[in-house]
Structure 1
């Protein structure tokens, strides 16, 4: 994450004899480049205070993980539909055209019945969970997927790692194409950033009455996972939080070639 700039100091010649008999040495000074995420934690804390939410942010560039916010994880909710769709494309016994239709509905509109159909076509809950877990594990992130797949515990760091893995795959993948056409009413947060493929998930949490909203996506060479929790059960507050996080990341993530 930190870049190093190399600065060559001027050569100093000490007498002709030294010049003839001793090798010249180049003094090298390393200067750390500015860290684009140096103020991320403070900025995210400000968003939490402003929106009365808890927030989690993780970015992974293939070598370093950056995290900020009060949250380390949330249930996956509908973000799990991405690895489900990719696993189904490999293992589902339905016809290719039907799988494509289900995938489009599951991702673009977040249709739960379509996602369940993709899940069921991979076998029993145990078999489907193993296949989806294996898909996520391709990224080096390991998740124990539940039969009630939306409730699966998925850390932001693990999801950012998976998102980075997806960013390195063939971008002509139909799943990724669908991620560029998310329904307008779901296109907040990362959906406010032009050209960014993403998928969101959201739900109330019956155990404590809170509301959760989270998203995964990638841009600028980073896999990104973000989420917000409203203890008051406010969907609007979590959307506001993710909108602010997206604007923050837009200005923080370094421009790439």
Structure 2
């Protein structure tokens, strides 16, 4: 062992060996995740439901994380489905380009039903058109079975938020997306207050007398889908609810803030 020690000594000198006390201290950095801007959203939405006497659904998707709040997870698509109809028609409809743009403008900007029906009919019978519109929605990764009475198609808020995120990654000068920036003033409540591309849909429901209002759009890389149902059949109450939800999203809800900050 003495001989081995003598052999190692010159090696230490040549290699610049140092004692443990001479080694630099290792720095330990604690990784702290960034704050969730929508933490506390469920509490705020629950308060909005109580204030407006409505049921509310909210979904937000940033390409990775899905955030949901409210007592609703889905509603019929109503006129929000005019967006994928118009985009699918651009690809599959044989009308002239100018006429397609004219129908798209009316379908999106002021939600004209006859124009949306013309775009739908141009893609074939109900089964063919439904398949093409479903494929357009499916580009976001979730397939939706589109019915012939296309406005009554069930479209969950989660799947619509994913589709909204997908649209946020597309060319923002695309005709349909550009029209979503020009929604008529009388429909510009809720997400329309935020200056973002969006589309709304609404209807009463004969079976139970309720009223539904929903919207979807995107902001800063986050797909947004929101909706409200009034069991009493009040359009005004659903608009009020969506106004408050949009304000909460705009604020990036803070769990330490009073829920009334969303009012």
Q: TM-score, normalised by structure 1?
A: 0.89
Task: Give the alignment's Cα RMSD to 1 decimal.
Answer: 1.5
TM-aligned CA deviation for residue 23 of structure 1: 7.9
Equivalent in the alignment of 1:18? 20
Equivalent in the alignment of 2:174? 173
For 1:253 and 1:173, how far apart are their aligned partners in 2?
A: 32
Equivalent in the alignment of 2:228? 228
TM-aligned CA deviation for residue 238 of structure 1: 0.2
Equivalent in the alignment of 2:217? 217
Distance 1:253 1:197, change over 3 A: farther
Give a deviation string over 1:161-193, Cα, whole Å, max 9, x none.
Answer: 000000000001010111111111111000011
Q: TM-score, normalised by structure 2?
A: 0.87
TM-aligned CA deviation for residue 24 of structure 1: 5.3
Equivalent in the alignment of 1:242? 242
Equivalent in the alignment of 2:69? 68
Equivalent in the alignment of 1:149? 150
Instruction: Please say if residues 220 and 253 of structure 1, whose CA atoms lie closer than 8 Å, have aligned partners that are also in contact.
Output: no
Instruction: Please say if residues 39 and 253 of structure 2, whose CA atoms lie closer than 8 Å, have aligned partners that are also in contact.
Output: no
Instruction: Please say if residues 198 and 217 of structure 2, whose CA atoms lie closer than 8 Å, have aligned partners that are also in contact.
Output: yes
For 1:232 and 1:17, how far apart are their aligned partners in 2?
A: 80
Instruction: Please say if residues 59 and 225 of structure 1, whose CA atoms lie closer than 8 Å, have aligned partners that are also in contact.
Output: yes
User: Higher helix share goes to which structure?
Assistant: 2
For 1:36 and 1:248, how far apart are their aligned partners in 2?
A: 10
For 2:21 and 2:169, how far apart are their aligned partners in 1?
A: 51
Moved more, 30-39 or 240-249: 30-39
Equivalent in the alignment of 1:59? 60
Equivalent in the alignment of 1:206? 206
Structure exhibiting the larger radius of gyration computed from Cα positions: 2
Equivalent in the alignment of 1:118? 119
Aligned residues: 237
Name the SS of the counterpart of 1:32 in structure 2.
coil
Equivalent in the alignment of 1:82? 83
For structure 2, the 5+ residue unaligned runs are 1-17, 255-263
Name the SS of the counterpart of 2:226 in structure 1.
strand
Name the SS of the counterpart of 1:30 in structure 2.
coil
For 1:37 and 1:246, how far apart are their aligned partners in 2?
A: 12
For structure 1, the 5+ residue unaligned runs are 1-15
